[in-house]
Structure 1
Amino acid sequence: MEEKNRLRKASPILKHYSLEPHFVEEFGRVQKIYSNKGVFALKKIKPQHGADFIRHVQALYQKGYNRIVPIYPTGDGRYAVLYQNELFYLMPWLANEEKEDRFERHQQMLRELARLHTLSAREVPIKKEDRTEHYERTLQEWEKEKEFLDGFIESCERKEYMSPFELLFSLYYHDVSQALKYSTNKLKDWYEKTKDSDKARTVIIHGKVSTEHFLYDDRGYGYFMNFENARQGSPLHDLLPFLSRTLKSFPKRSDESVDWLYTYLKFFPFKEDEMLLFQSYFAHPGSIIRAAEQYHKGEQKRGERKAVQHLQRQYWLLKNTEYVAMRIDEIERQKQEAKAAAEAQQQEGAQS
């Protein structure tokens, strides 16, 4: 019965592609369609995402970027079908067999992401006052976070008996403060570097970078799908969420995250100001500060035990991030030193 319903619902949409479905399987918002012309993937998205999504995909095609799961046009040339207030688009069904281990899969995905950003990169004018406003607003927010941290630790330490959450926060306070200080200093360095600049580099960002959205065909080539959140923006908007998700785990020294980042940077090098801003946002301990704020305001509905577990997970993320941030800092410092030494040698050679 359920199978008949799926066929009945899919048929009017597939008619626009001259396809007759024989069998339909559901995988969340994607349906696997077995038809008279082969196997396809039918994806459902919200109509408000439709126009931008198609525009960005077409822009990437025009720039020569073809590692996107192809989107088939209907018989009359449309790239999506509106049906019962939902938008649908059709793609080939990719085998997506695991031909590589996790590390290699991420490496290839980040190489492709760098290529996507390279082909779509452009400089856009930025008003100096807009940059200053963004900087001052961010700095003010982070100064308020520092005030909260200092106030909360004082209120915890004044108590004769701390709650388990307060006791744990007291142990974590120093690391959280150091991360916030590091972030703030990098933000100040970024502003000093860019305050007189009236341009910034933007790219088409994928919007949801994940190996779940990077599929392989039967020849082993990788393709991005799920471009519904694509938009013009800073490349940081793709990298930061990806790294944050990767580092949400038990405590670990994630050298592979460092390798993945530098694989990306090899193909799409950051300018000095972009690296400073990346380091600032990457190291910012926002999630653990939010956990403490929710507890302090009594907003969290978890109960003490779950609140403690949540705080501990945010601390693991903080420490995992700290390790990667320090490795990046070390690598960038070595690069700067090597560059300065090369320039000094060049000057000596010119003088002699």
Structure 2
Amino acid sequence: MDIMLSDMQEFITPVPNFVMKSEPIMIKRRTAKQLSHLDALESESMHILREVAAECANPALLFSGGKDSIVLLRLAEKAFRPGRFPFPLLHIDTGHNFPEVIEFRDRRAQQLGERLIVRSMEDSIRLGRVVLRSENQSRNAFQSVTLLDAIAEFRFDACIGGARRDEEKARAKERIFSFRDEFGQWDPKNQRPELWDIYNTRVHAGENIRVFPISNWTELDVWEYIAREQLEVPHIYFAHTRKVIRRGSGLLPISPLVQPKDGEQSESIVVRFRTVGDMSCTCPVESTASSVDEIIAETAVTRITERGATRMDDQTSDASMELRKKEGYF
């Protein structure tokens, strides 16, 4: 049956004649709590530590008693407590370390109840693995030999260290997961890409990885974290009076290893150490900072990098650190 349009008029409701007004639609966003920069760094570092524990068969954490490795221990506590660390602590003792730092190292490991493995360069010297020109020669560069021997002895496939990019230019271009060949050597031209937080941990037999969870931290970040977490550090990081000699552009602490040469005079100066290591090549800096807060204030305005101001062995050439790393250094 045909229905004419005129017959449908009574069923059609007229549409009002109005204009739609475009008004902005307000969407209430749910915002997550903003992480502080320390929280973000901490989260990244804990992820890296857990990645090592999950992917590597036999890792170790390098613990010297210095501020960076102290931070690593706190990060490991947060990543794995209440369980035990899934790796032992390892220290390569040159025999020229500061006694205050060695005492702190042993005490901190005991407090944590974690296994501490110490391998000494004295053994490497006794076995003829390291040959020195003199008893007082700096042993810092020769640590690589003892470290590689320890890696072979315990078959570690990963060593976690506290190196940071801001310390030195060779470390600035090194990946977080830094691969070493079967000879323990690092090739800066043959590094694996690291995309976001995806890390490749595969190694061939005999190879190993150095992992740097706080690579993206700065010296200032480290001290701010120490302040926030109320971490104890060796007292030589704080200002104290010490006998030193001026040699080149740095100060060297008087010790059985370092004595004034002809024409040099010893002085008693208020100093502190920004980094701790081999007594024969680690320089203090003049400072009156006697608390963590004062160190933070001082670090915030300094224009000289940590290693640039304190390590004589880094001043032998522009490529000194890179050359040592190619030989197996940390």
User: Taking structure 1 as the reference length, what is the TM-score of the superposition?
Assistant: 0.25
Structure (1/2) with the larger helix percentage: 1
User: Taking structure 2 as the reference length, what is the TM-score of the superposition?
Assistant: 0.26
User: Highest CA radius of gyration, 1 or 2?
Assistant: 2
